[in-house]
Amino acid sequence: MATITLKGLAHSYQAKPEAPQDYAIQALDHVWQQGGAYALLGPSGCGKSTLLNIISGLLTPSEGQVLFDEKVVNDLSPEQRNIAQVFQFPVVYDAMTVAENLAFPLKNIKMPKGQIQQKVQEIAELLELTDSLHKKAQNLSADQKQKVSMARGLVREDVSAILFDEPLTVIDPNLKWKLRRKLKQIHEQLNITMLYVTHDQLEAATFADEIALMYQGKIVQFGTPQELFERPNHTFVGYFIGSPGMNFIPVEKHQSGVSYQNINIPINAQQQLALQNSRSSNLKLGIRPEFVALSDTASPHSFAATLESVEHLGSYQLVSVVFAGLKMQVRVSEKMQFKGQELHLSFPSQWLKLYIDEYLVAEPAPQAQGHNHE
Ligand code: ADP
Ligand code: MG
205-235 b/e with 16+ CB inside 10 Å = b? bbbbebbbbbbbbbbbbbbebebbbbbbbbb
User: Could you give the CA distance from residue 190 to residue 194 in angstroms, rounded to a whole number?
Assistant: 10
- Please tell me whether residues 206 and 349 are part of one structural domain: no
Nearest protein CA to atom 17 of ligand 1, as residue: 24
Amino acid 371: pLDDT = 45
Q: In terms of residue numbers, what domain contains 174?
A: 4-237
- Please tell me whether residues 107 and 61 are part of one structural domain: yes
Taking Cα atoms as reference points, which of 43, 374, 53, 7 lies closest to residue 222? 374
- Please tell me whether residues 190 and 251 are part of one structural domain: no
Q: How far is the CA of 43 from the centre of ligand 2 (A)?
A: 9
Closest ligand relative to 54 C-alpha: 1
Q: What CATH number should be reported for the domain holding residue 281?
A: 2.40.50.100
Q: Is 49 in the pocket of ligand 1 (CB under 6 A)?
A: yes
- Please tell me whether residues 77 and 123 are part of one structural domain: yes
Q: How far is the CA of 48 from the centre of ligand 2 (A)?
A: 6
* 310 exposure class (CB count in 10 Å sphere: 0-12, 13-18, 19+): middle
What atom of ligand 1 comes closest to residue 44's alpha carbon?
4
- Please tell me whether residues 335 and 226 are part of one structural domain: no
- Please tell me whether residues 69 and 180 are part of one structural domain: yes
Q: How far is the CA of 198 from the centre of ligand 2 (A)?
A: 8
Q: Is 13 in the pocket of ligand 1 (CB under 6 A)?
A: yes
Number of domains in the chain: 2
- 364 secondary structure, DSSP code: P
3-class SS of residue 263: strand
Q: Please give, one letter per residue, the 3-state secondary structure of 5-53.
A: EEEEEEECCCCCCCCHHHCCEEEEEEEECCCCEEEEECCCCCCHHHHHH
Q: Is 348 in the pocket of ligand 1 (CB under 6 A)?
A: no
For each of the chain's 374 residues, which pLDDT tens digit applies? 799 999 999 999 999 999 999 999 999 999 999 999 999 999 999 999 999 999 999 999 999 999 999 999 999 999 999 999 999 999 999 999 999 999 999 999 999 999 999 999 999 998 999 999 999 999 999 999 999 999 999 999 899 999 999 999 889 888 888 888 889 988 998 889 999 999 999 999 999 999 999 999 999 999 999 999 999 999 999 999 999 999 999 999 988 789 999 999 999 999 999 999 999 999 999 999 999 999 999 999 999 999 999 999 999 999 999 999 999 999 999 999 998 999 999 999 999 999 999 999 987 766 544 444 43
What atom of ligand 1 comes closest to residue 42's alpha carbon?
3
- pTM of the shown model: 0.92
Count other Cβ atoms within 10 Å, centred on residue 354.
Answer: 24
Say if 369 falls within a structural domain. Answer: no
Amino acid 192: pLDDT = 93
Q: Best mutation site among 11, 21, 41, 50 for ligand 1, i.e. most ligand atoms within 8 A of its Cβ? A: 50
DSSP string, 63-130: EEEEEETTEE-TT--HHHHTEEEE-SS----TTSBHHHHHHHHHHHTT--HHHHHHHHHHHHHHTT-G
